[in-house]
């Protein structure tokens, strides 16, 4: 009985192995015989990837789900990411300057959805709602040079604004927060860019910090 | 205990931040509903200037006496020499001819000099084109002769002192027929260099994003001209700026960039030069050094003449370049907010005369997009162009964001725009100057056109993200702005000048009409990279001419050949 049972296992294993080989061979044949994915007729424009890879100005990041990409300053570190977006944090050196010591943190986040799931304006509104849960009294910042005059992502015009509020930590409202939101989209993807600074910097460092974050917007490439 | 709590605060903040910024994650207990925002410090609010008091009577004051000119006749002359259909095409005038034909008479000039001497003023600079005279004298003489009271002020944001007249200067009736007015008594800094700050803490040696001359040459097809022997030999470019330039920095830049045969710069001071409070501004040194190095990087054998001048004496610097007659190319990377409220009579006069003498003046178009006044007041959101870039007698240069491959080859380009901090290529409409007849072609007539001068004319890389390698104070840095793109155009124009001379042409003349004509009549893509991405914070880059990048950036070798062929076929004067 046991011998018979063993023979049956051998037959079953041989069948399984054979089947696996057939499947692997079939997949290889299918892969080799499938023509390449059709490329969109793209010459120039915001939706067209460059024909040759340019040198990296920062650390590249690509959305595995939605296909957009950008680069960020290598001083940022990734806090979290998924197929649709990423959150980056700027590690302020607390000993670097008196101004920097007044900063709790600064973050840049990029998130996106398929265009069918929201317009840029809807995305921006949602993001503002999310932020207002932790930044109290979040309101339009219309008094300073941080106003977003020409909102765009990846050289594609969009919507945007600057906001201020008070960051609400476990200790209660502790520090002023400045926020910049920019959203844009093409026929495939809507994306929203978030810049948050909790604390305060002097004028030069404010400019420098925002320039650093700007690299994300300059290098952003929309999926074709 | 206190210390421990302090240490815990950042940790708690960071933990809370993770919750706050994670999309879709809501707090379990929302915060109190109506807490007003904590006040943000307002570092961006400009500090108000302080009045220090009446300028001491013995203080030496420099200013310009603007002479009367036959403006209409000069305008007609400028039209003719820039019009290929005119028999006067490219028959530019010498400074002496300009003075004789359009300036006041010898007797009138003698009367002005006599008046100045009797009034206690000495002549610091005078020019054969007779546009203006730079004079100096004690404040007491200014007050007495011109009927004003000079007042000293201090600008805390710039840490600069300056003086302003109370009252409108009056020219005595005895010389009113030969003196149009005075300019430059108000030394408030109204122009600023446009150099954009360095973006990265990483030095250039470790940063592939620093754009050295060799890669720039490749990206814009300058290398073929160098290979043909066009390195700027026999050409001169005048750089006008107010900061010190170190020979050590220039040597280091040459060595780092592999440049050979670079002639040492010549320094020429205009008037008494900028005062210490101006020349010591941090941006002054950066700007001056970048301007010189950029010209030399593109055209290494070009002789750079460094005109060391207060930005307030821009007109005198231009007059001096024209009267010296050594450079037919000027680059000036500074500008002011042209809101139409102030007169630039002396600047206009000097630039018009320079144009009539066939001098190309390249000016950076500004670094705050359509909102030039932001450079002076971060809360000033008026849509205003930069002056003197919006003069019809200059070539206004905007900036782009260049993407290039590892070997330097051109990949793509967009208008330079940084939406988060409102830096961008400058562009817009002049509030006063009419659009010149030569400014025409695809894209020029658009929904914003109002008959006024439109800028920029052309562009070149300037986004500091893909910034230029420069050496300042011994440090290799990455910098940019339209400040970089203007000297780039000055540099390549010196190569064009050498090409023209080799072909027997006397010179290039004012290039703007030629550039627009070539762009309109030929396949533009063969001469210019037509930039169609990005914007100036207000108006987008579009096919053809636009307010962000003008005609675009050059295919240098092809453009040089096309310019020379155009000038020859249109009968430009030969040697």
The domain that holds B403 is classified in CATH as: 3.40.50.200
pLDDT on residue A35: 41
Over residues B394-409, mean pLDDT: 94
Measure A25 CA to nearest chain B CA, in Å. 39
Chain A hits for B42, CB-CB cut-off 8 Å, are 143-144
Q: For tokens 């879709």, name the residue.
A: B24
- What would you measure as the largest C-alpha separation in chain A, in angstroms? 89
Same domain, B167 and B215: no
Domain membership of residue B356 (yes or no) is: yes
3-state secondary structure (DSSP) of residue B158? coil
Chain B hits for A196, CB-CB cut-off 8 Å, are 21
Surface of A (6-45) touching B: CB under 8 A = 44-45
Same domain, B321 and B177: no
Whether residue B229 contacts residue B493, with contact meaning beta carbons closer than 8 Å, is answered with no
- Contact of A79 with chain B, judged by CB distance below 8 Å, is answered with yes
Residue among A111, A155, A175 minimizing CB distance to B23: A111
Distance between the two ends of chain B, CA-based, in angstroms? Answer: 87
Residues A150, B412: C-beta atoms closer than 8 Å: no
Surface of A (89-128) touching B: CB under 8 A = 94, 104-105, 107, 109, 111, 127
Over residues B496-522, mean pLDDT: 94
Chain A hits for B463, CB-CB cut-off 8 Å, are 218
Residues B532, A157: C-beta atoms closer than 8 Å: no
Percent of chain A with pLDDT over 90: 52
Q: Evaluate whether ipTM surpasses 0.90.
A: no
Chain A hits for B41, CB-CB cut-off 8 Å, are 200
Determine which of A194, A199, A200, A211 to mutate to test the interface with B (most B C-beta atoms within 10 Å): A211
pLDDT on residue A207: 80
Measure B401 CA to nearest chain A CA, in Å. 8
Residues B420, A107: C-beta atoms closer than 8 Å: no
B78: nearest Cα among B355, B487, B278: B355
Same domain, B230 and B160: no
Measure B517 CA to nearest chain A CA, in Å. 25
Chain B hits for A82, CB-CB cut-off 8 Å, are none
Over residues B49-54, mean pLDDT: 92
Domain membership of residue B381 (yes or no) is: yes
- Contact of A152 with chain B, judged by CB distance below 8 Å, is answered with yes
Question: Is residue B174's pLDDT more than 60?
Answer: yes
Chain A hits for B39, CB-CB cut-off 8 Å, are 176
Distance between CA atoms of B100 and B95, rounded to whole angstroms? 9
Instruction: Verify cis geometry, omega within 30 degrees of 0, for the bond prior to B575.
Output: no
Residues B37, A219: C-beta atoms closer than 8 Å: no
Surface of A (198-217) touching B: CB under 8 A = 198, 200-203, 206-208, 210-215, 217
Whether residue A206 contacts residue B44, with contact meaning beta carbons closer than 8 Å, is answered with yes
Q: What pTM was computed for the model?
A: 0.87
Start-end of H helices in B416-504: 482-502
Residues B20, A133: C-beta atoms closer than 8 Å: yes
Question: Is residue A74's pLDDT more than 70?
Answer: yes
Same domain, B161 and B221: no
Distance between CA atoms of A69 and A216, rounded to whole angstroms? 9
The whole domain housing B156 covers 50-68+103-183
Whether residue B491 contacts residue B429, with contact meaning beta carbons closer than 8 Å, is answered with no
B221 burial type by CB count under 10 A (0-12 exposed, 13-18 middle, 19+ buried): middle
Determine which of B37, B408, B525 to mutate to test the interface with A (most A C-beta atoms within 10 Å): B37
Interval B192-220: pLDDT, tens:
887 665 545 566 777 777 889 999 999 99
Same domain, B285 and B168: no
Domain membership of residue B199 (yes or no) is: no
Same domain, B140 and B275: no
Domain membership of residue B313 (yes or no) is: yes
- pLDDT band at B160; cut points 50, 70, 90: confident
Distance between CA atoms of B257 and B215, rounded to whole angstroms? 10
- Chain A residue closest to B41 (CA)? A200
Which tops the pLDDT comparison, B374 or B513?
B513
pLDDT on residue A1: 38
Same domain, B429 and B503: yes
Domain membership of residue B516 (yes or no) is: yes
Structure tokens given for A207: 């400019």
Same domain, B176 and B218: no
Distance between CA atoms of B227 and B153, rounded to whole angstroms? 54
Percent of chain B with pLDDT over 90: 76
Domain membership of residue B195 (yes or no) is: no
Q: For tokens 């001379």, name the residue.
A: B501
Go through chain B and tell me how many residues it has. 575
Chain B hits for A55, CB-CB cut-off 8 Å, are 208-209, 403-406
Same domain, B154 and B294: no
Domain membership of residue B244 (yes or no) is: yes
Same domain, B522 and B448: yes
pLDDT on residue B49: 86
Measure B352 CA to nearest chain A CA, in Å. 34
Measure B35 CA to nearest chain A CA, in Å. 6
B465: nearest Cα among A87, A136, A70, A78: A70
Residues A215, B465: C-beta atoms closer than 8 Å: yes
Interval B267-307: pLDDT, tens:
999 999 999 989 998 789 999 999 999 999 999 999 999 99
Same domain, B147 and B218: no
Domain membership of residue B16 (yes or no) is: no
What is the DSSP pairing of strand B360-364 with strand B395-404?
parallel
- pLDDT band at B166; cut points 50, 70, 90: very high
- Contact of A182 with chain B, judged by CB distance below 8 Å, is answered with yes
């Amino acid at each position: 009985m046991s011998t018979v049972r063993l023979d049956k296992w051998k037959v079953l294993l041989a069948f399984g192995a054979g089947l696996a080989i057939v499947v692997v061979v079939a997949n290889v044949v299918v892969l080799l015989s499938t023509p390449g994915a059709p490329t969109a007729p793209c010459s120039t424009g915001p939706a067209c990837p460059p024909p040759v890879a340019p040198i990296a100005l920062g650390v590249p990041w690509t959305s595995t789900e939605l296909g957009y990409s950008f680069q960020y300053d290598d001083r940022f570190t990734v806090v979290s990411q998924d197929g649709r977006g990423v959150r980056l944090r700027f590690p302020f050196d607390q000993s670097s300057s008196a101004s920097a010591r007044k900063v709790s943190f600064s973050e840049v986040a990029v998130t996106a959805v398929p265009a069918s799931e929201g317009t840029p304006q809807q995305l921006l509104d949602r993001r503002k709602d999310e932020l207002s849960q932790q930044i109290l009294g979040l309101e339009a910042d219309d008094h300073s040079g941080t106003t977003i005059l020409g909102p765009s992502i990846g050289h594609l015009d969009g919507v945007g604004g600057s906001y201020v509020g008070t960051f609400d930590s476990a200790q209660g409202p502790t520090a002023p927060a400045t926020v910049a939101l920019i959203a844009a989209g093409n026929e495939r993807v809507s994306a929203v860019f978030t810049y948050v600074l909790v604390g305060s910097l002097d004028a030069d460092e404010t400019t420098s910090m925002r320039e650093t974050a700007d690299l994300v917007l300059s290098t952003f490439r929309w999926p074709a | 205990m206190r210390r421990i709590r302090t240490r815990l605060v950042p940790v708690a903040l960071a933990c809370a931040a993770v919750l706050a910024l994670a999309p879709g994650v809501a707090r379990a207990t929302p915060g109190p509903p109506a807490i007003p925002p904590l006040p943000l410090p307002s570092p961006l609010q400009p500090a108000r200037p302080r009045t220090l008091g009446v300028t001491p009577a013995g203080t030496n004051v420099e200013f310009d006496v603007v002479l009367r000119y036959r403006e209409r006749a000069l305008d007609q002359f400028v039209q003719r020499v820039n019009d290929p259909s005119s028999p006067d095409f490219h028959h530019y005038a010498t400074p002496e001819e300009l003075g004789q034909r359009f300036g006041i008479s010898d007797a009138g000039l003698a009367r002005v000099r006599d008046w100045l001497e009797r009034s206690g003023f000495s002549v610091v600079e005078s020019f054969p084109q007779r546009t203006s005279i730079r004079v100096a004298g004690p404040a007491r003489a200014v007050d007495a002769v011109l009927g004003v009271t000079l007042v000293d002020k201090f600008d805390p944001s710039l840490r600069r002192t300056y003086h302003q007249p109370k009252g409108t200067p009056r020219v005595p009736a005895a010389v009113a027929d030969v003196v149009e007015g005075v300019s430059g008594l108000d030394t408030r800094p109204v122009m600023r260099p446009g150099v954009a700050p360095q973006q990265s803490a990483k030095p250039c040696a470790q940063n592939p994003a620093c754009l050295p001359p060799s890669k720039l040459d490749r990206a814009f097809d300058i290398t073929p001209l160098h290979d043909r022997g066009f390195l700027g030999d026999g050409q001169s470019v005048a750089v006008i700026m107010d900061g010190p330039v170190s020979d050590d920095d220039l040597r280091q830049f040459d060595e780092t960039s592999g440049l050979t045969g670079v002639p040492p710069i010549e320094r020429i001071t205009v008037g008494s030069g900028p005062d210490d409070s101006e020349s010591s501004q941090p941006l002054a040194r950066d700007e001056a050094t970048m301007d010189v190095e950029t010209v030399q990087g593109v055209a290494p054998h070009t002789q750079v003449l460094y005109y060391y001048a207060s930005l307030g004496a821009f007109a005198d610097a231009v007059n001096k370049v024209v009267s010296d007659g050594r450079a037919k190319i000027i680059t000036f990377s500074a500008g002011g907010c042209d809101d139409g409220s102030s007169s630039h009579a002396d600047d206009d006069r000097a630039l018009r005369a320079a144009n009539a003498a066939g001098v190309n003046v390249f000016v950076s178009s500004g670094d705050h997009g359509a909102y030039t006044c932001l450079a002076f007041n971060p809360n000033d959101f008026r849509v205003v162009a930069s002056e003197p870039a919006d003069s019809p007698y200059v070539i206004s240069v905007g900036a782009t964001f260049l993407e290039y491959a590892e070997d330097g080859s051109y990949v793509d380009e967009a208008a330079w725009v940084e939406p988060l901090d409102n830096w961008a290529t400058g562009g817009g409409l002049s509030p006063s100057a009419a659009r010149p007849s030569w400014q025409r072609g695809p894209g020029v007539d658009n929904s914003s056109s109002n008959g006024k001068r439109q800028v920029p004319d052309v562009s070149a890389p300037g986004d500091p993200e893909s910034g230029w390698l420069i050496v300042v104070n011994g440090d290799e840095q990455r910098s940019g702005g339209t400040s970089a793109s203007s000297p780039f155009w000055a540099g390549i124009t010196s190569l064009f000048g050498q090409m023209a001379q080799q072909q027997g042409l006397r010179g290039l003349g004012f290039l703007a009409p030629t550039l627009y004509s070539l762009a309109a009549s030929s396949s533009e893509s063969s001469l210019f990279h037509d930039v169609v991405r990005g914007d100036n914070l207000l108006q987008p880059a579009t096919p053809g001419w636009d307010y962000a990048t003008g005609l675009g950036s050059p295919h240098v070798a092809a453009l040089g050949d096309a310019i020379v062929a155009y000038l020859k076929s249109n009968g430009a004067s030969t040697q």
